[in-house]
Amino acid sequence: MIDNIRVDYDGLIPNNVGLNSDDRVKKALETWHPGYIDWWMDMGPEGFQQALVYLRTAVSVDTGGWARFDYVRMPEYKWGILLAPQVEGRKVPFGANKGEPAWQEVPGEHRAMLRRLIVIQGDTEPASVEQQRHLGKTAPSLYDMRNLFQVNVEEGRHLWAMVYLLHKYFGKDGREEAEELLRRRAGDKDTPRMLGAFNEETPDWLSFFLFTFFTDRDGKMQLEALAQSGFDPLSRTCRFMLTEEAHHMFVGETGVGRIVQRTCEAMVEAGIEDPHEVDRIRALGVVDLPTIQKKANLHFSLTLDLFGSEVSTNAANAFHAGVKGRYREDKLDDDHTLEDSTYPVLRFIDGRIASADVPALSGLNMRLRDDYLTDCLKGIERWNRVIAKSGIDFKLRLPSVAFNRQIGEFKGLHVDLDGNLISAEAWTRGRDSMLPSSGDRAFIEHLMSRPVMEAGKFASWIAPPRVGIDNRPGDFEYVKLAG
Ligand SMILES: [Fe+2]
Ligand SMILES: [Fe+2]
C-alpha cells in the first residue's frame, strides 16, 4: 500500500503517488527532469539562482501542517508530484455520467478533451515564471522577493503536476506534449505560450501584484472547476494545487493592499486630500490611486479573456462529459446536468450590450467568470476599507466586463469603464484615463527601479506586511543573497 498523505523524498522526484513502484512513469519523468532544470536555469528568476531563499516545501498533503520552511537554493527545490488523498467511493459529480464511479483511467471518448485541458493549464504555469523572471532585481524588500520566488517555484511544481498526468495517462503523445511545455516561451513571437495574458510583460511590482491578484485568480477558478472532474487523478492534483494557489492570492491581494496603504499614509502625512493631485502625490514617492486603478483595469480585462467565449460549445461539452465542472459544484444544489436550464449572459446583440438567457451548458464560461468577479470584489472591498480608513475619498472598482476585450462578444468594440459603447474617437481621447499611459508606465518603472535588499527595510511605495511569513519577525532575512 502506498501512503498517500506523506511525501516520499527518497528518489529524484518527491511524490506521494508510489512512483518507486511505477517504473515506466518514473523513467519518463526522470528523462524529462534535466530539460526542466535547463528550463528553470534559462527562464527562472534571473540573478538569484544561487541565493538561499526561505521557502516552504510540502511534506504531506493533509490540510494541517503540510509545509516545512527552510533556506533552499531554488534550482535545488524539491519539485515533485503531490495529489490530494483519494476520496473513497467518489463519483462523477455532474454531467451525463453523473453518479458513475469516478474514473481512475482516462475514458477513451474524453481523451482528447482531457489532454487539451491539461496542456492548456500546464502551459500557464511555466509562462508566469518566465513573465516574472526579472522582478527579483527590483524587489521592494527581501520579504517580497521571497514571496515572488515562492510563487515561482510553486508554478514550477504546477507544471510538474500537469506533466505527471500527461506521462502517466497519455502515453507517447502525453510525453510529446510535456516536451512542448518546456519549449514554448512567454512573449516569444515564434513559439509563444498558448494564452494571450501569459504572453504579456510583467515589468514592475505593481504589475506582479495585480497579476497574482487577477490572473492567478483565474488559475484558481480553472483549478476549482477541474478539481470537480470525474477524472479522479486530475481532481486530486488540482485539489492540492489549490492549497498552494491560496498563497499566490495572498501575495497579490496584500501586495496591492500594502501599496494602497502606503499611498494613503503618505497623502495623509502631506495633508493632500484630493487623490487626483497626481503630481504632488507622486512626488512623495508613492503610486497615486488613479494609476493603480488604471493598472487594475488593464490586468482585469486581460484576465477576462482567459475565460473564453461567452457562449461556448467546448465548455458545454466538457461539462456534459463530466470532465470540467462548475466552481464548487459539490456545494451546488441543482440537478448537476443543466440540460433544461438557462443562464443570463451579457452579449452584444443588435448593436447593444445586453443580458440574454442562453442554455446553461453553453454559458458555463460566464458562470465561472461571474464567480470570479465575486471573488475579485472581496479583495477590492478590503483595499477600499484601507482607503476609507484614511479618510480619502476614492474607491477602487472593477471596470465593465465589456471593457478592452480581445476575445469573445466584445472584441474590437469601443466600450468605456461603465460598459457604454463609445466612438473610436472617444476611445482614443479617453484611453489614457482608462488604461496606463506611457507616462504612467515611465513613472512606475522609475519609482520601482531600485531594489531594497536590506532585511526589514521596504521601498518608499509599499507598507511592510502586518505579519511575517512563518511568523518570522520584521527584520528576518528571507533571502540570503549569494556572494
Ligand atoms: Fe499555478
Ligand atoms: Fe499561481
Which amino acid is located at 196 in the chain? G
Q: At what angle do helices 424-434 and 289-304 cross, to 10 degrees?
A: 120
Q: Please tell me the distance between residue 212's alpha carbon and the centre of ligand 2 in angstroms.
A: 7
Helices (H), 44-94: none
Strand order, beta sheet including 52-58: 67-73, 52-58, 479-480
The model's pTM is 0.97
CA of 19 to the centre of ligand 1 (A): 22
Helix or strand (DSSP H, E) at 480 = strand 479-480
Please state, in angstroms and rounded to a whole number, the distance separating the CA atoms of residues 439 and 167: 48
pLDDT score of 2? 43
Q: How far is the CA of 336 from the centre of ligand 2 (A)?
A: 28
SS3 label, residue 290: helix
131 CA to middle of ligand 1, Å? 13
Contact assessment for residue 372 and residue 309, using Cβ atoms and an 8 Å cutoff = no
DSSP SS3 for 331: helix
Task: For residue 238, report the distance from its CA to the centre of ligand 1, in Å.
Answer: 10
d(CA 235, CA 228): 6
Q: Where are the beta strands (DSSP E) in 39-83?
A: 52-58, 67-73
pLDDT given at position 121: 97
Place of cell 482516462: 106
Residue 9 is predicted with a pLDDT of 83
Q: CA 450 → CA 46, 52, 130, 159, distances in Å?
A: 16, 21, 21, 31
3-state secondary structure (DSSP) of residue 379 = helix
At 292, give phi and psi (nearest 5°): -60, -40
Compute the distance from residue 140 Cα to the ligand 2 centre, in Å.
20
Check residue 483 and give its pLDDT. 65
Question: Which ligand is closest in space to the CA of residue 132?
Answer: 2
Distance 465 CA to ligand 2 centre (A): 20
- Per-10-residue mean pLDDT, the chain, length 483: 68 90 94 97 97 92 82 95 94 97 97 98 98 98 98 98 98 97 97 95 97 97 98 97 95 98 98 98 98 98 96 97 97 95 96 96 97 98 98 98 97 97 97 98 97 97 97 96 78
Query: Do residues 323 and 114 make contact, with C-beta atoms less than 8 angstroms apart?
Result: yes
Say which ligand is closest to the CA of 126. Answer: 1
Type of residue found at 194: M
- Supply the pLDDT for residue 63: 72
Q: Which residues surround ligand 2, an ion (CB under 5 A)?
A: 216, 248
Q: Residue-wise over 240-264: b if at least 16 C-beta within 10 A, else e?
A: bbbbbbebbbbbbbbbbbbbbbbbb
Judging by DSSP bridges, how do beta strands 342-349 and 52-58 pair with one another? unpaired
69 C-alpha to center of ligand 2: Å? 19
Q: How far apart are CA 436 and CA 296, in angstroms?
A: 9
CA of 392 to the centre of ligand 1 (A): 36
How far from the centroid of its chain's Cα atoms is residue 179's Cα? 22
CA 269 to CA 282: how far, in whole Å?
Answer: 14
Interatomic CA distance for residues 380 and 120, integer angstroms: 28
Residue 288 and residue 263: Cα distance in Å, rounded?
7
Looking at residue 223, its amino acid is L
Q: Distance, CA 128 to ligand 1 centroid (Å)?
A: 8
Q: Which ligand is nearest to the CA of 245?
A: 2
Rounded to the nearest whole angstrom, what is the distance from the C-alpha of residue 187 to the centroid of ligand 2?
Answer: 18
From the number of C-beta atoms within 10 Å of its C-beta (0-12, 13-18, 19+), residue 466 rates as exposed
Alpha carbon of residue 208 to chain centroid: 11
- Among the bound ligands, the one closest to the CA of 212: 2
Using the mean position of ligand 2's atoms as its centre, give its distance from the Cα of residue 206 in Å.
Answer: 16
Could you give the CA distance from residue 30 to residue 165 in angstroms, rounded to a whole number? 14
